[in-house]
Structure formats: structure tokens, C-alpha cells
Structure 1
Amino acid sequence: MGSKMIITDAVQFSKMLRTLQDECKDSCIYEEDIQILRVNGEKHLHHIYRGDRPVFICEKTAPRIDSEDDKMDETHSDDETNHEVKIELGPQPLTIMKARQLLSWYTMSQNSIVSPAVSPAALLPPAVSPAALLPPAVSPAPLLPLWVRCDMADPARTTWLGAETACTGNKVSGVKLYAVTCAGSTVDKGSFITLDELKQEHKNRHHPSMMVARGTAQYNLFGSTVVENTTIESQSSVTVDFKWSHVESILETPPLSSTATLNIKVSSGDMRSPMYPLYKELEFLQILADGLRTGETEWMEPEETRSAVQLTREYLDELQNTVKTLQDQSTKEAVKVKTETGTSETEIFNSLMERGDLDFIEQLWVRMRNSVTSYQDVGDCLKLVIKALQYGDIKPWIHRDSSSSLSKLILQSYHHQMDHVSLTGLTPVHMLLEMGLDKMRKDYINYLIGQELTTLNHLSYYLSTEEDLQEQVIRLRKLHHLLEIMVTCSTFLGLPYDRLFLLTQLCLQYYKTCPYDEDHEFKLQIKPALISHFYQKEQAVSWGVEVSSGNGPREVKTSWLLSDKPLVEHIIFETDEMTVNGDSEEAAYFTTMLCCSLVNFAA
């Protein structure tokens, strides 16, 4: 009877997993105190599990706070107590005994010889028909891998136990069982396992005829001494992942024959960045767009000491009094505007980004952006411009592809037939936003096309004026983020043209279908030799070696990992305080070991 109960529990547990898998649910509760999650394995099992499919994670259900507990007694109502009650606990581990039980149920349920050993009728309540458990006409897909958080209370200090099916063709032929053990951080490299010891550990478990040792490592390029005091945004990061075969020693530097992948995440808005002036310009554009959407505008502090109306009037007077051609005037004014705005770009970025062809509307935009502080300012400036156009005082030069409302009025003024424009309500802000969009689109085109990173056809999605203004601003923000990434990779990493070109295409393609996201990591394959000076004298933030044997479903592995942060989030580790020795900084590493066993089912 005992074996029947065990199999009954196994079948019921597998049914719960099957429902979660087939119905694509995110989570469920099992036995009241166990939570089962269906999640991205690589995200939750940091460096421990590498796979492209979801996994099940079992953990202890977080303690619930009863509604009565929310109503604190009047004698215990200080802010600190209230805060502590509302703290959300992180993931909670299960005991090693419970974890082993769950994995045994998982394993038994996948064994076609063991799991049917109990009559379906015996597994069901009386009200349920045995037909409910009859096998379907088509065999179901194998269950997703199962991982259980453990409390590290056993002598081996186990933090995870895992299991996944091994298949031969469409049939489950066995289960691979995993055990993950961890230790706190240390700078004592003498305490690390040697490569020979790791190979011996694998040999003792699996008795292979051949073994392969593969290495992985990650370096943080922003942490390198080569790039101290750079102008790269502090919340940005560029890391590089290495993979290589034939590891010879623990913590060896990845060879130049490695496969290397850059992970690029760039945030906007750092004052030290060459892109900061453009970022401020885009920020003002966003403020105008938000004002149109909400009816309220939080104006930025003006960069100019003179009023917007004064600057506009002076600009119009200059145009009226000039004796030079409009084209020459535009070039002259473009140079003057650059001086006035006080930009702080690096010399390289100056030569690539600054334009000498700002037309009348773009120069007007620069003046107004730096000085307007109210709706009244915007309206008064545009009234001066429209009046000058109506009286023929100015015949400004504009780009042929300008699409703003003001550009249409200028074209009409050439023929002395201007439409009436009522500068009331939000109309002036609408017109100013159009001016800024036109100008900034040309700025980005100037860089991307000038550097031959893309073509106008590939930019059509981002440059379209057929969308509403809010959507146009969103697409411009995406283009700006792309430019931030390009500037980071060209000025900081010095990537060659072919890599910049490929990265541009990746970013353009991504943002055509995805929302704006500064936390997204763009990945780029690269030759290690191109960035060797960044990492070869640095310490890895993570380093691992995997000893494996067997092929396909019979492959088994033993892994050993070093990391500057713990790879498990449900355990609090002690940290070695001695992480610095004089002028030479020694990295303190957490160690994680993964062992694998293969359980074969009888045919």
C-alpha cells in the first residue's frame, strides 16, 4: 500500500505540473505551502541552467499577512513597525528532504513502467471517472525541467536540486538529476578546486572513456582600468561573455580563439556623455509632447539669459538686414548657434554630429528651445515670425523635406498666399513640437547616413511623419537610444565599422517591434582580439569550467563556477571582508558546483 501511495502522490504532482505546462499558467500552489512557478530558467538559475525553454521552480510559499495584521493596534502604530509588516519576502527555500521527495515524484511520473502501476481508479476521488486518466491518443510532450530551491542545511550545502527528462526520439528514456552546492565568498584562491580534482570528481561519478573541459567567463568592460573616468553613463554597462574549449587551468584568461559576445546596455542622460546635449534637446521635445497630451507643461530652466521674444526679434532683424545670400546666412548662423549653445561634445563627436546646414526653422527651434518658459513665450515668438512672413520682411531658406506647419506657411509666403493660423490654446506648442521633430530627425540622419551605418529605406519607420506626434516622439526616442549605443561602442570600445554596422541593424530591427527599453541588452558577436586590451589584465566577474562526457541525451556534466555575486537569491551568504590587499585588488569569489546524474529507465 505504501508504494501505491507514493505513486499516487507522484501522479498527482505530475498532473499539477502538466496543467501548468499545457495551460501556460505562470504559477500555482501545491500542498498549501509550496509554490510552483513556470519561468525563464536562465533568468532565475543564474549561470546554473542554460536553456532556451521554460522551467518549473518549486519554492516555499511566502508567509501570508492576515488582514487583521494590517490593522495595527494604536499602541504599536509607529512608522517603522508598519514598514516592517509590509516588507515582501524574497524566494523561500524548501528542506532538502522535501526537495528530494518532489524530484522523486517527478522522476517516477516520467517512467512509463512505474507510473501506471496503480489503477487509475485508485488515484481518483469516487466522483471522478477513471477514463479521465486514460492516456491520450497522442503522447504528451515531456514535462519541462524541474528545479527546487533548497535551504543549504545539509552537510553538502545544497542550494538547488533539479531534474529534466532525457529523450530518445519522442520517448522519455531517463531523467537527469542535478545538485547545486555553494560556498560564501573568499579571496583565497588556494582553496579553489583544481582542474584535475574536478575531472576526477566527474570520473568518479560517471566513469567516462573521454572527457571535455569547456570554459566560460564574463568581464565587465566598464570596470576595466583602461576606461576609468570615461564619459560613459554609470548605469550603462558593457560586459563580454567568453566560451572556449580545452581549459587548462582554473581562472585562465580566455584565449583569443574563444567565442565572444558583447552584452550592451546603455542608459541616456549622463552629463559627461558626448550625447548629453542631444539628450537635453530630446528631453525638451518630450516635455512638449507631454504637455500636448496632458494640457500641462513643466517648462525647463532656460539656458539663455535673454527672453525668447528678444532672441526671436533679434534673429528676424538679422535676416532682414543681411546682404548675403540666404544659403550663406544659414551657414553663418549655424556656426553662431553652435557657439551660443555651449555644447561639450568630444572632438570626434563634434566632427560627426554637428551640422552646418541648419535652416531657418531649425535655428529658430534652437533659440526657442533654450529660452521659452511658458505658452505665452511660444505664442509670442511664432506671432513675430508669422507677421514677418506676411509682410514679406523675410524670405527664409528651409529644407525641401521639411514637414512642419511653419514650413508650409513659409512655402506659402513665397507666393504671398498664407493660410490664417490662430495661435491659441495648444496650437503654438504643437507647431514648436513639429519644428523640433524635424530638426532632430535630420540630426540623427546626419550621423547614421554620414557614417554609412544604414540607409534612408531602413530608417523609414523612424522618420515617418504620418503617425501622430506622440508616436513620432516615441520613435525618435528609439532612434536616440540607438545613437547612444553607437557612440558608446565607437568612442569607448573603438569597434570597427563592420561591427557597428551589424549592431545598427540589430537595434533598428529590435525597435521596429519592441517598446522603448533602456534595460534591454543588445548582444553582438565579436572577435576577442578587438577588445583584448580591455580584459586580459583584468579579473573576471564570473568564471566557470564544465567537464562533460557522453553525447545527446546521455551527456552528463560537472560544473564549477566562480562569481563576484552569489548565484542563488534565496540564501544569504557571508562575505569575506579581506578583498583588498594594498594597491592590488583581489576579487572575492563565491563558488558554485553543479553535479549531474543520469537515471536510465528500463526499455
Structure 2
Amino acid sequence: MAAERRRRVGGGLGELLLRIRKEGKDNIPEHPYLYETDVEISLVGGSCKSPVEKFWNGSSAMYILQKATHNKESDSMEESRTDDDDVYASEIFPKESPGALALSVGRAKQLISLYTMVQNPNVSNVGMSDLVVLPPLWARCDGCDPQHTCWIGAEPLKAGNKVTGLNIYTVSCDGPTADKTRFANLEELKMEHKIRHHSSVVTTKGFAQYELITAAAIEDTIAESGSNICVDITWNGVEKILETPPLISAATLNIALESGDPRSPVFQLYRELQFLLALAEGVRTGVTEWPEPSESESALKLVQEFLTDLKKKLDGDYIFGNRNETEKIKCDTAAVDSCIKSIFGERGDLDFTEQLWCKMKSVSSYQELIDCFTLVIKSLEHGEIQPWIHQGSSSFLSQLIQQSYHGKMEDVSLSDITPIQMLLEIGLEKMKKDYVSFFIGQELATVTYLDYFISTSVDLQEQVHRVQKLHHMLEIMVSCTGLLQFRHENLFPLTQICMKYYKENPLNEKHVFQLPITPALVKKFYQNDNPEVWKVEISSGHGQKEVKTTWQVSTNAPVEHGTANNSGFFSDSTVNGSSEERLYFITMTQCSQVQFT
């Protein structure tokens, strides 16, 4: 009777899982499904971030099971807990807001058992209409058992379209702690693995992640911006817990950088870009947010002085003072500090429209914008100036200048969005040349490769979007040069990776760009630092018979349902008086196999 009821319950779960899979075939369902009265089941996959990616490297869709958020009372099927367990769990896993509520370990094991029965081709009469291979299933656990289990998972082992068995995963978590006596002993871990899996030979693989930006002493800025530069290192043949990776290891640099850091050498260029974006928004919507004046003098006065100088120069009575006429015109928008000037040089070929942009980027109102362009157009109409412009310049103002060479200009109505678009066009052309000058000057790209980013065959809004991409790539190159002392042989492949991504994807400053490197390139930044993550993987067997035991420490919480704040209280802390130690979470992932054939 009990076995029959269990098969019926298992069949009900199986039918629901099958229905969820079918409904999520084209699009992942937005809302979870309720099983019985206490369990929510979600299908996670596609672009969704996997909540178990730190413990399981599978790439397929999966079921995530957790306690139903509406269920306030303990379900009758959940295990009873001791007071001691509750007290300890509240210390290890503080209460969090609803949204990722964990099941009791007993309930999770029951669900895994039902899933195993549903997937077992040798069990008949489970009530399912179709016997199919279901996606892996993971259940959140509350950690109230002695092992502090936070996840239990099951992954089908397949031979063609047939399930031959399951991998059962158990993830336990402890900490945070700075007490290294609670860390495992590698030889003991290897022996436990051999005994559990009846293995005579095991292999070990290490993984360590170090934050490089923190080591470069700009931690506060990065914490505020969400940027991060870290290195992932993997190696074979681990000899002891927390060992420093050998230099023969494989390493990958991970770069996620948000623009706009005030400490960046190209911050002034970023501010210039923000004004360009405001103009683009004004053209698109008709509403422009004018920035506060950033210059000591108004844009109108700067333009007046600029035009007066050009008139004097044309009349032959221009006084150069202490400056040589051939002196390069400095690009005031590329205000770079001394440590970076060697890679972001000063352009000396600014034409009239680019110099005008440098004066007008401080314009603070629509009326001031009109007044500035009125002065320029009158000077052109009266032949008071004969400015030089770059060949191929296609802005409306450049067209007017070319017409002025022949003494005849079309009438210009400085109304509506016309003056805003005129300023946007000259700013866009100028900034494109700034970025091109950098990438070509540093031999990081060719004009042909940059053509996508500077093309005028798309509308203005798309052109602005592509300039944003150029700026983001510039910020990455400048950061890697200034902070990590990268040279051309490192910057060139990184540039190609960034450009390839941005030719195929929209702007995404949270994207992590990855560059394979040698550990020696960045060793000086981490050799005296503690890792953010350190992990050893012990494995035996081959193919589908392979089983792994993973032990790791991490400064951030390994599970989101175990803490109220995923990273808030896992920072360095002072313990044992004056000794400063890093707090670590300890996580163990164990695997066992159930064979059906």
C-alpha cells in the first residue's frame, strides 16, 4: 500500500516536471509552479544565471525546488528540528526576505527520492504517460542538519535517450570563519574519497581566484562602481590546501569594468561623452538636460574669443605671444595624467569644428547654444573666417563651411532640434577621431577593423551607441595599462576580444571580458594576497563513471538563500587581538551515483 502510494505521488511529481519542461521548451516560464502545498518548482536555463553554477558545471536547463513563499506554517511532511539546530542555523544562515526560501533537508531528500523513482526505467506504474529524460533537479536546503546541507541535486546519466543512472550531489556549507583549524586536510579528503567510491587512484585539480584591482589599491572606487578585475587560475596536482598556484598553471583574466570612475585618466573624456549622450537624447525626445557649466568662462565667451582669434589670423594681425604658430592644439578633452600620457596622446590635428566643440561642450542652455551658432554662421556668411576642416567631414556645419568657401551659404533656421543636432554631429565626429587616434596610434586596431564603430551609414543614435562601445573599450585598455602595466602584446589580443564582442552585441558594461594569460604576468599583484576563492577537486573514474569531491573556501557566500546579504559581512575582520585574518565560507560538494542498469 505504501509503495503504491509512493509510486502515485512520484507519478504526480513526474507529470508536473514533464509539463514544466514542455511549457518551457521555447521560453523559460516566468513564474514557479506549485507542487502539493509547500514546494515551488522553477525551470532555470538559457540566459538565466544558474544558482548552482559554483557547484555544478552543467549547461542544460534545470529544475530548482524551494519552499513555497506563501507557506507560512511548517508543512507536516517536513522534519522536526531541535532547538540547538535552529539556533546554529540562524547563525550560519541568517533570515532573508522571501524569494529564495529553503526546504528542510528531509523534504529535499524525499523529493530527490521521488525524482529518482520517476527517472528509473525499471520502476513501472508511476503514473507517467511518457518515460522521458528530465532535466537535472536541484533543491534548496535550510542547512539545519548536522552537515549544514544547502543544496541537494540529481543529474541523469544517459546512454542515448535512455537513463542509466543518476549523479546525486550534496552541497554543505559552514562559516564564515577565520579559524584555519576548521579547514580540511588534503590527504584526509583524498582518503575519504577513495573509501567512499572504492577508488585506488585519485587525481586533484586546483582553482584559485584573486582580485587584482583590490591589490592595485583602488578598492573603494571599484566597490562603488561594480567593476572588477580578477584572475582565475587552474592547475593539476594539488599538494596542500590553500597552496599558491604554480607559475605553469593556466590563467584567465576576467575584466568587468564600468565607465565613469572619477580616478580614471580618461574621466574628462567620459564627461564629454555624457554630454554627447544628453544631446542625442535631446534630438530623440526633444528634451535636453543641460549640464552645469564646467568651465570658468561661458561657452558663448569662449566661442567669441575663438572667432576673434581666427579673424585676426585671417587679417594678418594675430599676435601669437609666446606660442609658436605650429604648436599643436591640445585636446583639452583628453586630460590624461602623467602615467597614461604615453598611451593616450594629445591630438594635434583638431579642425575648426572639433575646436568649436571643445568650446561649446560647456554650453548650459538652449539659448546659449543658439547664440553660439549664430555667431559662427554670421562669421561664415560675412567671410570673416575661412576655417579648415577635415576631408570627409559630413556634419551639417561642415557643409556650411564648404559652402562659405564659394561665398554662398544656404539659410539656416536655428530652431527646434536643429542646433542640438548640429552640436551633436560635430561632437560625434570629434570623439570618433579621438578613439581612432588611440587605437591606431597604439597599433591595437586598423581603420578597417574600426570601420564598424565609426560608420556613418547608420542613424545618429546608433552612431552614438557605437561611440559608447569605443569608450568602454578605451577604459578597459587604460585600466589594464595603468593598473596592471600591460604592454602591447597583452593589450592587442584583449582589444580584439572586446571589438569582436561589441560588433555582435549591444553595450554591456557588466559583461566579463576574458583574456588567457600566464600567471607570471600578474603574479606580483596576488602573490602576497589571500584568494577570494580557493578550491580543490578530487576525482576518480572516467566518463559517466567519474565522481568528484570538491572542497572550497570563498569570501562570498556560496548560496544566496543562506544569507540576508550575499557579500555584506564576509569582509576582512580582526580576530585574535591584532592579527587580521580573512573570513571564509567552507563548502564541500560530494557526489554519489545510483545505477539503474
Identify the TM-score tier after normalising by the shorter chain: 0.7 to 0.9
Cα distance 1:597–1:351, how it changes in 2: closer, same or farther (>3 A)?
A: closer
Distance in 2 separating the partners of 1:233 and 1:332: 47
* C-alpha distance 280-321 of structure 1, shift in aligned 2 (>3 A): same
2:469 and 2:507 in contact (8 A); partners too: yes
Between the aligned partners of 1:166 and 1:240, the Cα distance in structure 2 is 33
TM-superposed deviation, 1:241? 1.0
Distance change >3 Å, CA 230–CA 275, structure 1 → 2: farther
Q: Find out whether 1:90 has 2:99 as its counterpart.
A: yes
What is the rounded CA distance, in whole Å, between the counterparts of 2:455 and 2:151 in structure 1? Answer: 51
- Secondary structure of 2:34's counterpart equals strand
* In 2: Cα distance, 1:524 partner to 1:351 partner: 20
- Determine the C-alpha separation between the residues in 2 that align with 1:333 and 1:28: 73
Cα displacement (A) at 1:189: 0.9
SS of equivalent to 1:471: helix
In structure 2, the partner of 1:304 is 295
Q: Among residues 157, 160, 175, which one is paired with 1:166 in the alignment?
A: 157
Q: 1:134 to 1:240 in 2, by over 3 A?
A: closer
TM-score of the superposition, structure 2-length normalised?
0.87
Of the three residues 47, 50, 55, the one matched with 1:48 is 55
> Out of 218, 232, 252, which is 1:241 matched to?
232
SS in 2 for 1:322: helix
Letter paired with 1:3: A
Match of 2:84?
Answer: none
Residues 42 and 49 in structure 1, CA contact (< 8 A), matched pair in contact too: no
Match of 2:34 among 19, 29, 35: 29
Deviation at 1:389, TM superposition (A): 1.3
Match of 2:355 in 1: 363
| Corresponding residue SS for 1:290 | helix
The more displaced of 509-518 and 537-546 is 509-518
Q: Does 1:459 align with 2:434?
A: no
Change (3 A) 1:331 1:345: farther
CA change 1:245–1:331 in 2 (3 A) is farther
Q: Is the alpha carbon distance of 1:527 and 1:332 closer, same or farther for their aligned partners in structure 2, counting shifts above 3 Å?
A: farther
Q: Is the 8 A contact 2:336 2:344 kept in 1?
A: no
Partner SS, residue 440 of structure 1: helix
Alpha-carbon shift at residue 23 of structure 1 (Å): 2.9
Q: 1:196-595 maps to which residues of 2 (within 5 A)? A: 196-224=187-215, 226-227=216-217, 234-235=224-225, 236-322=227-313, 335=328, 338=331, 343-349=335-341, 352-370=344-362, 372-572=363-563, 579-580=574-575, 585-595=580-590
Judge conservation of contact 1:331–1:356 (CA < 8 Å) in 2: no
* Distance of aligned partners of 1:333 and 1:280 in 2 relative to their CA distance in 1, 3 Å threshold: farther
One-letter amino acid of the counterpart of residue 15, structure 2: K
2:90 corresponds in structure 1 to: none
Distance 1:394 1:506, change over 3 A: same
Letter in 2 for 1:393: E
Alpha-carbon distance in 2 for matches of 1:195, 1:452: 48
The question of 1:9 aligning with 2:4 is answered no
Q: Structure 1 residues 496 and 10, CA, compared in 2 at 3 Å: closer, same or farther? A: farther
- Inter-partner Cα distance in structure 2 for 1:206 and 1:331: 81
Write the distance in 2 (CA, Å) between the matches of 1:303 and 1:596.
61
- Contact 2:329 / 2:347 at 8 angstroms: preserved in 1? no
* Deviation of 1:559 (Å): 0.9
Report deviation, 1:419.
1.8
What's the CA shift for 1:437?
0.2
Q: Deviation of residue 168 (structure 1)?
A: 3.1
Superposed displacement of residue 11, structure 1: 2.5
Superposition deviation, residue 267 in structure 1: 1.1
Distance 2:358 2:571 in 1: 54
Between the aligned partners of 2:100 and 2:469, the Cα distance in structure 1 is: 35
Residue of structure 2 equivalent to 1:128: none
Residue-by-residue CA offset, 1:274-305 (whole Å, 9 max, x unaligned):
11010010011111112222222221111223
2:176 is the counterpart of 1:185: yes
Paired with 2:315 and 2:371, the residues of 1 have a C-alpha distance of 28
User: Which amino acid in the other structure matches residue 56 of structure 1?
Assistant: Y
Deviates more, 1:228-237 or 1:478-487: 228-237
State the match for 1:101 in structure 2: 110
| Partner Cα distance (1:22, 1:193) in 2 | 43
Equivalent residue number for residue 130 of structure 1: none
Q: Which amino acid aligns with 1:50?
A: N
Question: For structure 1, which runs of at least 5 residues remain unmatched after alignment?
Answer: 66-86, 125-132
Q: Which moved more, 1:173-182 or 1:15-24?
A: 15-24
In structure 2, what residue type is equivalent to 1:106? Y
Distance 1:572 1:230 in 2: 23
Counterpart Cα distance in 2 of 1:309 and 1:568:
57
For 1:270 and 1:575, how far apart are their aligned partners in 2? Answer: 25
Q: Which residue in 2 is equivalent to 1:78?
A: none
Separation of aligned partners in 2, 1:269 and 1:546: 39
Give the aligned CA root-mean-square deviation in angstroms: 2.7
Contact 1:233–1:273, Cα closer than 8 Å, also in 2 = no
Q: What residue identity is the alignment partner of 2:57?
A: R
- 1:117, CA displacement in angstroms? 3.7
Cα offsets for 1:96-133 (capped at 9, x unmatched)? 1211111111111111111x345xxxx38xxxxxxxx2
Distance 1:390 1:324, change over 3 A: closer
1 CA distance for matches of 2:459 and 2:327? 29
Separation in structure 1 between the aligned mates of residue 367 and residue 342 of structure 2, nearest angstrom: 34
Structure 2 Cα separation of the partners of residues 333 and 12 of structure 1:
84
Q: Secondary structure at the match of 2:522?
A: helix
Shift of 1:134: 5.4
CA contact (8 A) 1:579 1:588 kept: no
Q: Which runs of 5+ in 2 are unaligned?
A: 73-95
Q: 2:39 is matched by which residue type in structure 1? A: I
Quickly say closer, same or farther: Cα 1:64–1:376, change in 2 above 3 A: farther
Distance 1:303 1:134 in 2: 69
Query: Quick one: percent identity of the two aligned structures?
Result: 46
More helix by share: 1
Deviations 1:466-495 (A, max 9, x none): 222222211111111111111111221122
CA distance 1:199–1:385, shift in 2 (3 Å): same
In the superposition, the TM-score normalised over structure 1's length comes to: 0.87
Structure 2: distance between partners of 1:220 and 1:229: 10
Rounded to whole Å, the distance in 2 between the matches of 1:362 and 1:342 is 13
8 Å contact kept, 1:186–1:575? no
1:167/1:174 contact within 8 Å kept: yes
Amino acid at match of 1:469: L
- Cα separation, 1, equivalents of 2:303 and 2:260: 28
- Give the superposition deviation at 1:381: 1.1
Q: Distance in 2 between matches of 1:463 and 1:304?
A: 29
Distance in 2 separating the partners of 1:507 and 1:228: 23
Given that 1:231 and 1:273 are in contact with CA atoms closer than 8 Å, whether structure 2 keeps it comes out as no
Cα contact 2:206–2:537 (8 A) shared by 1 = yes
Paired letter, 1:48: F
Q: Which amino acid aligns with 1:108?
A: M
Are the counterparts in 1 of residues 266 and 334 from structure 2 also a CA contact under 8 Å? no
1:575–1:317: structure 2 CA closer, same or farther, 3 Å change rule?
Answer: closer
1:347 shift after superposition: 4.0
Residue pair 1:333, 1:363 contacting (<8 A) in 2 also: no
